[in-house]
Amino acid sequence: MRIGLGLPQLGFHVTGRAIASFVRSSDSIGFSSLWVQEHLFYPLRNTSQYSGKYGTEVHGAYRSFYSPLELLSFAAALSSHMMLGTSVVVAGYHRPVELAQRIATLDQLSEGRVILGIGAGWSTDEHAQMGVDFATRGNRIDEFVPALVRCWDPDPVEFHGAFFTIPAAEVQPKPFNNRRPPLMSGMRSAAGLRRTARHFDMWNPTVGTGIPIADNLAWLREHQPPGATPMRLITRVYAARPAGGDDGLADGLDRIRAGLDESAALGAEEAIIECGFWSAITSERDWESLPERLAEIVGDYD
């Protein structure tokens, strides 16, 4: 099982220098990938269902949040072999042509190292900020993904749907070597799983949450289109719970190891370690030293 890392992205202690050191160290140690997520702002009065509950205060780490694709571009320039992934960008904050061009540009600059993870999102406040009706986000994804992929097909590109229309046009650049970047789903509702089976190559659940991952993965593989490559599993492992609370596991390295053990038992091809919510990370120096602290884990799961 390969091990990837969430990039320094959340919190006021994240700096360009810390990110650069983190990327160079992760690349030299041999971590397989670097990952980002997406949010827009920190609502002082949250009206959304956060971590499955209404009225839950959004984690304070979100008060400062580096933009995902710019951050991945920076990481691409500082690394040589690691894959670069979004886990995840929110479909409602983008348009198909815009995101297709940005991802293809990053894929060209990194010589084919991009994985595009897409989710439906949970923030009604952020969807409103982007002028998207939160209630339509699922149906919108059903058009968004085919329209996005169409932009990477040979020109001319054209698409007509209820949400998106692309007139006959040339859309450039195409991804590196004209290879479509893998598409990864962060969705886990019943409707989201149906969309995952229909449109995506990979599934990205979080371990340790009680979700029946093995059963859902089997269902996804059973319901993929005929001839599709079997759904691939990439898990997320948190050093600390994003919504807080006590689930009987200590924050930090013990939680990470438990998550990696569960991921390996599920047959995941890769696990992403996310430390952005960990209270032990409080400074630029903590981020810089983190890859070394996690280095012993790489060998344990090769």
H or E stretch at 182: none
- Give the residue ranges of DSSP H helices in 30-188: 68-78, 96-109, 124-129, 137-151
pLDDT score at 244: 60
Mean pLDDT of the chain: 94
| Confidence band of 55 (pLDDT split at 50, 70, 90) | low
Neighbours of 19 (CB within 10 A): 22
Report the SS3 class of residue 5. Answer: strand
Among 2, 33, 84, 7, smallest CA distance to 271 is for 2
Contact 282, 13 (CB under 8 A): yes
pLDDT score at 298: 79
**Bridge partners, residue 203, by sequence:** 185, 233
Question: What would the DSSP string read from start to end of 217-276?
Answer: HHHHHHTSPTTPPPPEEEEEEESS-TT----S--TTHHHHHHHHHHHHHHT-SEEEEE-T
pLDDT score at 53: 53
Contact 48, 122 (CB under 8 A): yes
Q: Sign of the C-alpha dihedral, residues 114, 119, 123, 126?
A: positive
164 CB-contact burial (10 Å; exposed 0-12 / middle 13-18 / buried 19+): middle
| Position with higher pLDDT, 301 vs 272 | 272
- The predicted-structure confidence for 56-93, as pLDDT tens digits, reads as follows 678 899 999 999 999 999 999 999 999 999 999 999 99
Q: Report whether pLDDT(245) > 70.
A: no
pLDDT score at 251: 77
What is the DSSP code (8-state) at residue 155? S
pLDDT score at 46: 84
pTM for this entry = 0.96
pLDDT score at 57: 76
Q: Please, what are the domains in the chain?
A: 2-300 (3.20.20.30)
pLDDT score at 85: 98
- The predicted-structure confidence for 187-237, as pLDDT tens digits, reads as follows 999 999 999 999 999 999 999 888 999 999 999 999 999 999 999 999 999
| Confidence band of 246 (pLDDT split at 50, 70, 90) | low
In the chain, the percentage of residues whose pLDDT exceeds 90 is 87
pLDDT score at 249: 60
The Cα 144–Cα 38 span in angstroms is 17
pLDDT score at 247: 59
Among 75, 59, 72, 65, smallest CA distance to 12 is for 65
- In a 13 Å sphere around the CA of 25, the CA atoms on its Cβ side amount to 20
Q: Report whether pLDDT(47) > 90.
A: no
